[in-house]
Structure formats: C-alpha cells, structure tokens
Structure 1
C-alpha cells in the first residue's frame, strides 16, 4: 500500500513538472498551420502549438522574437492557437513556439521545429508539367517539373503543393530555371490536384502565385487486374452458356422426334433454333 502511494505521488510530480527529461528540460512542442503553411495574401491562418503537457504558457516567435503569448486551457493536453488574419507579405517568415510552466521552477521547453509560413501573390506564377501521363498505376514513379517564368531572375527555392494538405509535399532548390519533384512508388493516396510555387529564401520570403493545377490520378493496379480477370471470366461464362444452349436445343429436338416419329428438315431446325435463341 505504501509503495503504491509513493508511486502515485511520484507520477503526479512528474506530470506536474511537465514530463521533464533526465537532463531537466521539457520535450519540445510541435507547430502546425491550418489550413496550410502556404496561403494567399489577405487570407487567414491559424498556427497551433501542441504539447502533451497541460497547464503551461506558450510563446510564439517569428525570427526568434516573441510576437504573441497564450495560456493553454485546463485540459488533458496543452494546446495554443494563434490566429493571423488579413495576411500580408510581412507575415511570411520562420515561426517557432515554446512553452513553460506556470509555477516554479519556471522551466522552458526547447523551441519547436521551424515552420516556414509563405504568403503567395508577390511574384508571377511558375508552370507545372509532368514527364509522364497523368493517369498512372500504383508503384510507378511520377516526375513533376516546376519552371520559373522567363522574366524572373533571382535565387529561390521551389515547393510542391497538393490541395488539402497543410504542408508542402516537397521543397527543392532550382537547377537553373526549373526543378523536378519525384513521387516514388505512388499509391492511390497520391491522387489529387498539384501545384507549385517558388519563394525567396531570405526575409521577406516573397512567394509566387501558385502554378495552374495539375491533376494526377493513381489507379490501384491490383483492382485493375481483378477487373480484367472478371471480364475474362464473364466472357468464358457466356461462351459456356451458349454451348449449353445448343445442347439443350438438340436434346429438345431429339425428344420431339421420338414423340412425333417425324424428323424436321434442316431448315426447320435452324429456324426453330433461331426462334429459341431470340427468346
């Protein structure tokens, strides 16, 4: 009983200290953007800082400077939501978040991984094309090429976007005026509308308008094989049914001849066979 009580007290202290690691630090939080980290100007975005520790305070930083603080609600999980509205190019940049305990000792966590927020619309859009057909099967490789407009000059990076995802699928540096994005061993989950942007790698992180959308369809190769097999089986079944029909007609004529004692001519048999087939 005493050991159980001591274990319970120890667990409570560990939870109260925010799941401290052996070195005394708190685990770093995660930072995400909704609906996406690449958004158009004048839109809104929400940055979510999340940690398994409850009852903590959060700081949101941009470029290392605190721009907003928040207190997590009393819940089983620590969560702070920072709302950025009517976005401008000046909102683009590298964001991190961290949290710290509300009571002594005021231990602070390590910062989250950097989240790069891009606000599109400051540069002319690139073009996006694929080297293969747009309809592919699972397991294949798809290469998408994003190309700068001819009038643009400067050092940039490219980001491949997929509609419905909150983060870029891939980011790449340019090879002169274009870059290739490779989707390896695609699955049906890779089906979707893709676009790309390019952006400057230093503040103010200007980003282009997105390219026109390119639709990629990924078909399950296994299901297609099943469909082909089913069609073959249906075809064989139809042939077998036709052959059985011929045998049934022959048997019917044989029975009719034995009952009437007269054998119909070949033309009559063919005519009757046609009538039965039509019926």
Structure 2
C-alpha cells in the first residue's frame, strides 16, 4: 500500500469517521462472508462489502491487527467489492469491518463480521434431551458433550452462530465436559440443521463440528396423514412389523417419529399406490424396546423441515405372547426366542466338547513324552553302569574307591561271587565223578 493511501486512511479513520473530517459521511456498508462466517481450516472464503453506487474504492480492516488494511476488488456496477481468502488459516480468524470511499467523503464503518475457522480440535457430540419433532411454543434443550477439556461450547444453525457461547461444565464422575442450550417457545425460525463446537483460548478458532441434528416443526401444513400397522398393534418379540403412512394429498416425504425419544425420525420418499401417497416403514425382529406410541408426518421438498399435522397415534405393544394378552394363557408361547437360544446353547456345547477333546489329546501327548523321557534316562544310566564295569580293577583300594561308582563295585562283587560258586560246583562235580569210579571198581 502506498504511503499516500496509508496517510489518507490514518487521517480519515482515526480522526474523521465521527468528527466529520471529510465533507460527507456516507451510509455504512453491509459486510458478509460467502459461503458463511464459519469456515473450515484450509477452505476458501470471500468477504463482501456492499455500499452505495458510485463508490470509488472499498477497504477491509481486520480488528486487533494494526496496519491490516486491505483494498478490496471492486465489482460491477460499483456498489460492491470483494476480498478473497483462498486458503483460510489461524491468522484469518477474527473480526472484520469494511468501508468505502467516494470523491467527497468516507462511509461509516460497517458492522463487525466475525470470521470463525474450525477444525482445530476433536468434534463434540450434540444430542437433544427432547424430541426432534416439535410444535410451535414447545421448549427444547440441546446437550453438547466432549471428552476434551473445552473452555466453552457454542451452538450453530445452518453454519451460522445461533446462541451465545456457554461455559463448559466438567463432570468429574464421567470425565467429560458439557454445556446445555435451552430454547424456550420454539418457532418456525428454529427449524433446520444444528451443530455444536468447542473452543479453548481463542473464540474464533473452534473444534471440528459435531454431527448435525435436524429440527422439524410439526403442524405447519393443513393436512394429516393416516398411520396403519400390520399385522397388528400387539406383536410378539422377534416378529416383523410394517407401519404404513398414507395421504390422499401429494406429499414428497413421510417421517415416522416415536414419542418420548430424542432419536431422529425415520424418513422415506412417498410412493403413489392405489390412488394414495404412502411409505412403508419396516421394523424387523422387534424387541421390547420397539414398544411405544408412533406418529407419522408428511412434508414437501420446498420446505423439508415444515411438517404436516400428526397422524393418528399407533401404540405398538411387543409381548412374549402373540395375540390378545387376555387370552395369552390359552395360547402357546412362541418359540422364536427359544429356538434362537437353543441354537446358541448347541453351538456352545459343541465348542466345549471340541475344547475337551483337544485338552485330552494334549494330556496324552504330555504323558507319552514323559514315559519316553524316563525310559531314555534309565537307558542312559544302564549304559553308564556297563561302561564303568568294563574298566580294569586295580589292587589299590584307595584309587578304586575314588574311580568307580557304588553300582560298579556291586557289579564286581556279583561277578566274584559267581566265579567262586562256579569253582565250588566244579569241585563237587570232580568228587562225585571220583566216587562213582571207585564204586564201579569195587
């Protein structure tokens, strides 16, 4: 920026906007950001400043950063200018204002634009403590929760700030931080998509956005669909149920909502059949949790969050007996759940048998290996004894005691006894033979 322009801006802004330094005080311009004032880190954003026709130049200022004046690009027919940020970063987060200049004066400064850059921390979880389908005049409460320690949470609607930041409350028992957002007396302006964010030090640098919650306002269309249930409103656990929503008037979408819950409604596109627009909501393998009161609504594509009057309520009762509860004692207990449990028990029993068989094989193998190890030890000992017995025996008893084992000495003694016994037996045989010879001579 040239020195002349800097001097002009300093003179005109620091002294003149409210003190009539220049001849005219022009009306203040409008400032906005496209696609919005809440943008993701690294995304593209354009700041627009709209003044009066005939403006010669527009200027953008980032509050809190001295000297951060930017000349904006003039757009035809001359009553608007733009400033492009192709890649948003931390330095772009903050407060902006703009003004424009004509030949004889400067405009007033615009209102402040707060540009928020998101995506710096992990996303929180947004939930509703009341139903997501409400009527005008009801109250709503949102809850924003995170495991990360945030200083504050903020609620947005359609990527724009919706409420003031709420200080974070740390819950010691669960280890998370949270904030509650109360909305009293809901109006049609509350319809749409909500998200929440958390931030720590800078109020213009937020976390990643939570998953969205869609708020629908019922009773805005002068038509009410009809809700039917098949095979009936009293069913057994494990059965399949169809809730049929119908309307004689052309509708684009049907929504099924369960009273007393904060879950998003089920949505289906309508189909024209037998002269009626309808949608079939299938509930498969129902459990006791499916029990409750259901209503359906219809909507048009032009206003998807503006719903019709509610249908007739249908109370779904899920019982372990089928048919009329008063006659349940005469009817057999359905076997859907029993068969399922028996199958599970059969699988568990087969698994246990296989484990027992494998354990038996392991024990037998260990026992066989133990026998082989003991046999090998005995064979080793026997070979050692035989080796020691084959060594020559010396007359030196002191050396003999230190060189042969007790087993070898025992073996040597046995051999000596055997030799003496054989010698005596041979003597007896000689005497007997001599006696027999003398007897024959006599």
TM category (shorter chain) comes to 0.5 to 0.7
- Structure number with the bigger relative contact order (C-alpha 8 A, sep ≥ 6) is 1
- Counterpart in the other structure of 1:18: none
What is the DSSP-based 3-state SS (H/G/I as helix, E as strand, rest coil) of the residue aligned with 1:158? strand
Q: Distance in 1 between the 2:150 and 2:241 partners?
A: 46
Report if aligned partners of 2:199, 2:207 keep a CA contact under 8 Å in 1: yes
- Counterpart in the other structure of 1:145: 244
Q: In the TM superposition, what whole-angstrom CA distance separates every residue of 1:214-244 from its partner, at most 9, and x where no partner exists?
A: 111111259x79x858xxxxxxxxxxxxxxx
Q: Distance in 1 between the 2:298 and 2:307 partners?
A: 6
What is the DSSP-based 3-state SS (H/G/I as helix, E as strand, rest coil) of the residue aligned with 2:181? strand
Report if aligned partners of 2:150, 2:198 keep a CA contact under 8 Å in 1: no
Alignment gaps of 5+ in structure 2? 1-118, 323-327, 334-442
Q: Distance in 1 between the 2:282 and 2:235 partners?
A: 14
Find 1:58's aligned residue among 147, 153, 161: 153
- Counterpart in the other structure of 2:286: 186
How far apart are 1:175 and its partner, in Å? 1.5
**Residues 108, 179 of structure 1: alpha-carbon distance in 2 compared, 3 angstrom cutoff:** same
Alignment gaps of 5+ in structure 1? 1-23, 230-279
Find 2:164's aligned residue among 63, 66, 69: 69
Q: Distance in 2 between the 1:170 and 1:118 partners?
A: 12
Q: In the TM superposition, what whole-angstrom CA distance separates every residue of 1:76-123 from its partner, at most 9, and x where no partner exists?
A: 32212222221112211111111111269x752111111110111111
What is the DSSP-based 3-state SS (H/G/I as helix, E as strand, rest coil) of the residue aligned with 2:289? helix
What is the DSSP-based 3-state SS (H/G/I as helix, E as strand, rest coil) of the residue aligned with 1:133? coil
Find 2:296's aligned residue among 196, 205, 226: 196
Alignment of structure 1 residues 120-199 onto 2, 5 Å: 120-123=218-221, 124-148=223-247, 150=248, 152-154=249-251, 156-176=252-272, 177-199=277-299
Indicate yes or no: 2:128 matched with 1:33.
yes
- Counterpart in the other structure of 1:87: 186
Indicate yes or no: 2:196 matched with 1:97.
yes
Work out which of the two has the higher radius of gyration on C-alpha atoms and give 1 or 2: 2
Q: Distance in 2 between the 1:158 and 1:228 partners?
A: 37
Alignment of structure 1 residues 104-123 onto 2, 5 Å: 108-123=206-221
Q: In the TM superposition, what whole-angstrom CA distance separates every residue of 1:39-81 from its partner, at most 9, and x where no partner exists?
A: 1111111111111123422221111111113233441322122
**Residues 45, 202 of structure 1: alpha-carbon distance in 2 compared, 3 angstrom cutoff:** farther
- Counterpart in the other structure of 1:205: 305
**Residues 85, 108 of structure 1: alpha-carbon distance in 2 compared, 3 angstrom cutoff:** same
Q: In the TM superposition, what whole-angstrom CA distance separates every residue of 1:146-199 from its partner, at most 9, and x where no partner exists?
A: 112x2x335x32221112111245221211311000000001221111111123
Q: In the TM superposition, what whole-angstrom CA distance separates every residue of 1:18-48 from its partner, at most 9, and x where no partner exists?
A: xxxxxx9422111112211111111111111
Q: Distance in 1 between the 2:219 and 2:147 partners?
A: 36
- Counterpart in the other structure of 2:367: none
Q: TM-score, normalised by structure 2?
A: 0.42
**Residues 202, 115 of structure 1: alpha-carbon distance in 2 compared, 3 angstrom cutoff:** farther
- Counterpart in the other structure of 2:54: none
Q: Distance in 2 between the 1:75 and 1:92 partners?
A: 30
Q: Distance in 2 between the 1:198 and 1:95 partners?
A: 21
Root-mean-square deviation (CA, aligned residues, Å) is: 2.7
Q: Distance in 1 between the 2:245 and 2:212 partners?
A: 25
